[in-house]
A = this chain, B = another copy of it.
Amino acid sequence: MNEIKEIPTPSAAPPDILRCAYMEIVVSDLAASREFYVDNLGLVVTWESDTEIYLRTFEEFIHHNLVLRVGPEPAVAAFGFRVRSQEDVDKAEAYYQELGCETKRSEEGFVRGIRNAVRVLDPLGFPYEFFYEVDHVERLAWAYERQGAGALVRLDHFNQVFPDVDNGAKYLEALGFKRTEDIVDDDGVTYAAWFCRKHTVHDTALTGGAGPRMHHIAFSTHEKHNILYICDKLGALRKSDMIERGPGRHGVSNAFYLYLRDPDGHRVEIYTQDYYTGDPDNPLVSWDVHDNQRRDFWGHQVVPSWYTDASRVLDLDGHLVPLIEREEPKEMDVTIGADGFSYTRKGDTEKGYKLGGQV
């Protein structure tokens, strides 16, 4: 497991994945997590007990988008994808078995509200779940009286940390994901890449680094002011130290963003307004890793913790999947600090009014 092997492409057809649908995360203090996700962020509780909370966004009609489960060590237990039909669950199972991955099938479902699902430990070491059968719940899109100023209306995407982005991308593309954007350099190194199934910029992304780890889960709001309000509310609650990065405008995806850290350090992005990607020939957007506007279109430096920190993931038995280090150059190293460099205008040596080694 400690080195990355070439991943074969199965002969079996991949499942028809609709979208990223939910994440199951392990949290150390359920009350603290509830305060963050329910009281502060306003996610809707579908079901809860002393050990689990099922949460959804306001426009969701399936049972949940996030499961919080109390456990000894913060980690991610599953990245859940919904597929088009129950047959696609079978296809997923066969696909991963052909890949030689461990798979688990559950008629009653691994979590509440979902039945007849399969979980796999994928070739990159991530616990993926594929499901179709799910309880429908009330879509609260019109329930404005319940929606606060920072209402989270959809689950937008996952982001995964993995050492070898090129190899990981090949696997995801074979699985049916379409690459929409990436960050590369002139030497052919890929630092990160974004992949979609639904018609947004991504359902998941690969960020180069020691992995497998979960970089963040992203929820979307309707407008930018909703995201600003979340910052204002955290400030008012004297929790501004949960704001890790942003708000700002991404270069990649063109979306408006904010990164928070939950009480266990799991990273949550709040995200809005990327673009339609549903056509098969949707143009790939490649960004130079030294372009200072790739990660923040306004040229603000990415904080180091955003590059270094991420959540560990669990295998199908609930044990931490071992980490593999990245061998290629790291984005933080090549862009920040004495040894890195970034430009605002390619070829322009003029210095702007920015911090240190950034410009």
Please list the residues of chain A having a beta carbon within 8 angstroms of any beta carbon in chain B.
18-19, 59, 61-62, 82, 84-85, 136, 139, 141-149, 151, 153-154, 198-199, 222-225, 228-229, 231-244, 247-249, 251, 254, 256, 261, 265, 273, 275-276, 278-283, 292-293, 297-300, 303-305, 309, 344-345, 350-355, 359
Q: How far is the CA of A149 from the CA of B282 in the complex (A)?
A: 26
A342 to chain B, nearest CB (A): 10
B239, B297, B359: the one within 8 Å of A241 (CB): B359
Inter-chain contacts of A248 with B (CB < 8 A) = 231
Q: How far is the CA of A297 from the CA of B237 in the complex (A)?
A: 11
Name which of A19, A248, A278, A303 has the most chain B CB atoms within 10 A of its CB: A278
Asked if A236 meets B142 with Cβ closer than 8 Å, knowing A154-B276, A280-B84, A344-B241, the reply is yes
Asked if A243 meets B297 with Cβ closer than 8 Å, knowing A153-B275, A278-B18, the reply is no
B146, B275, B297: the one within 8 Å of A240 (CB): B297
B19, B251, B276: the one within 8 Å of A59 (CB): B276
Inter-chain contacts of A149 with B (CB < 8 A) = 144, 147-149, 151, 229
B225, B238, B345: the one within 8 Å of A224 (CB): B225
A241 lies within 8 A of B299 (CB): yes
B84, B238, B283: the one within 8 Å of A61 (CB): B283
A293 lies within 8 A of B235 (CB): yes
Q: How far is the CA of A354 from the CA of B235 in the complex (A)?
A: 14
Q: How far is the CA of A353 from the CA of B303 in the complex (A)?
A: 10
A237 lies within 8 A of B154 (CB): no
A255 to chain B, nearest CB (A): 10
24 chain-A/chain-B pairs, Cβ below 8 angstroms: A59-B276, A61-B283, A62-B279, A82-B279, A136-B283, A141-B254, A144-B149, A145-B237, A154-B275, A223-B225, A224-B228, A228-B249, A231-B297, A231-B298, A235-B251, A235-B297, A235-B298, A238-B345, A240-B344, A241-B292, A241-B299, A241-B352, A243-B298, A247-B247
